[in-house]
Amino acid sequence: MKHVTIVVPKGNANLSSITGSYEILTSANAYWQKQGHKSMIDITLAGVVSELKLDAGFITVHPTPIHDLEKTDLLIIPSAPYAAQLIRENVELISWIREQYVKGAEIASMCTGAFLLAATGLLDGKTCSTHWSAEASFKQMFPKINLQPDKLITAENGIYTNGGAYSFLNLVLFLVEKYFDRQTAIYCSKIFQIDMDRTSQSPFFIFQIQKNHGDDLVCKAQTYIEQHLTGKISFEELAAELAISRRNFDRRFTKATGNTPVEYLQRVKVEVAKNALEKGRKSIFEVMNDVGYSDDKAFREVFKKITGVSPLDYKARYAKEIR
């Protein structure tokens, strides 16, 4: 039998990722036993506090003290607010998670739970995912980690992470298939009505223009880019206008925003295109021209690279019905 521990961080945690994980894994175990097998998993909630009030105090959980657990096989870290305070409040828990991995436990982090996992140092040099809205903060706090926020699930050396919000359900199904079998995972997907075919959270990205980095020169460049989407931008000329070499301009821009100037331009164009497609009033050709593309193949390629879907599919999925 495998021992699964859902950790409950001190301070706050997302209740849905705790209860959702517990319910799906419990259902998987019950289904497994109905097929004539012995119980596969035993689940415990554990933390460094004996009582924690969640969801504005409406729900109270009573975790088992972590030091009462000598060894566990799988640690699940739920989504939690990714403020630096959370890491400061959970130094003891972070150390214990690291110790359990050294002892052979596997670890799965959900959404912004990746911040707690990253604080252990176990993700350094590895790939992980988290909620797309936390991308900039995560990269700033943990530059040694290869963050890929477009990935719905990552798996590397017994460490599993997933993207944002309720996509944790897909990670739980992944774990069900790993610890039970494919048939049990399919059963859970049907019972809980979870789409097993999702592979990316890119279609749900909302590009957030980062201007709180404190670099005035980069802010001027960002503003210029946003105001000249329909024309052709020469970054050589823009750098000269800002009295900086192109090399230093690229370096400062990437450091401040997390994107190269070209990537930033593409992301802004695609975000404007997404908003236009969601309104449903314009054709894809009109939207393409509005954001400065004349080559429909190039537009489709950039759009799909950033969102994971074609402009046509995006419009079909998110456009408002025009009456």
Q: What is the DSSP letter of 39?
A: P
Domain 2-204: CATH architecture, name and number where available: 3-Layer(aba) Sandwich (3.40)
- Measured CA to CA, the distance from residue 148 to residue 137 in angstroms comes to 13
Which tokens sit at 245?
A: 């070499």
Q: Residue 106: is it exposed, middle or buried by C-beta count within 10 angstroms (0-12/13-18/19+)? A: buried
| Stated pTM of the model | 0.67
Q: How far is CA 257 from CA 141, 179, 222, 242, in A?
A: 14, 40, 9, 17
pLDDT of residue 296: 92
- Measured CA to CA, the distance from residue 272 to residue 131 in angstroms comes to 21
Confidence of residue 211 (pLDDT cuts 50, 70, 90): confident
- Measured CA to CA, the distance from residue 261 to residue 244 in angstroms comes to 14
- Number of Cβ within a 10 Å radius of residue 18: 23
The string of pLDDT tens digits covering residues 163-209 is 887 889 999 998 998 899 888 988 999 999 888 766 666 665 656 66
Beta bridge partners of residue 127, listed in sequence order: 146
What angle is formed at CA 118 by the lines to CA 114 and CA 119, rounded to 5 degrees? 120
pLDDT of residue 221: 94
The string of pLDDT tens digits covering residues 267-307 is 889 988 988 888 888 899 999 998 999 999 999 999 998 88
- Number of Cβ within a 10 Å radius of residue 289: 15
Question: What's the mean pLDDT in 83-96?
Answer: 91
The string of pLDDT tens digits covering residues 121-154 is 999 999 999 998 898 899 999 999 999 888 888 8
- Measured CA to CA, the distance from residue 91 to residue 251 in angstroms comes to 34
Confidence of residue 120 (pLDDT cuts 50, 70, 90): very high
Which tokens sit at 182?
A: 């494919």
Looking at domain 216-318, does it have CATH number 1.10.10.60? yes
pLDDT of residue 321: 57
Q: Give percent of the chain above pLDDT 90.
A: 58
Tell whether the model's pLDDT for residue 322 goes beyond 60: no
Provide the mean pLDDT of the chain.
89
Q: What is the DSSP letter of 36?
A: T
pLDDT of residue 323: 43
Q: Could you state, in order of their start, the residue ranges of all structural domains in the chain?
A: 2-204, 216-318
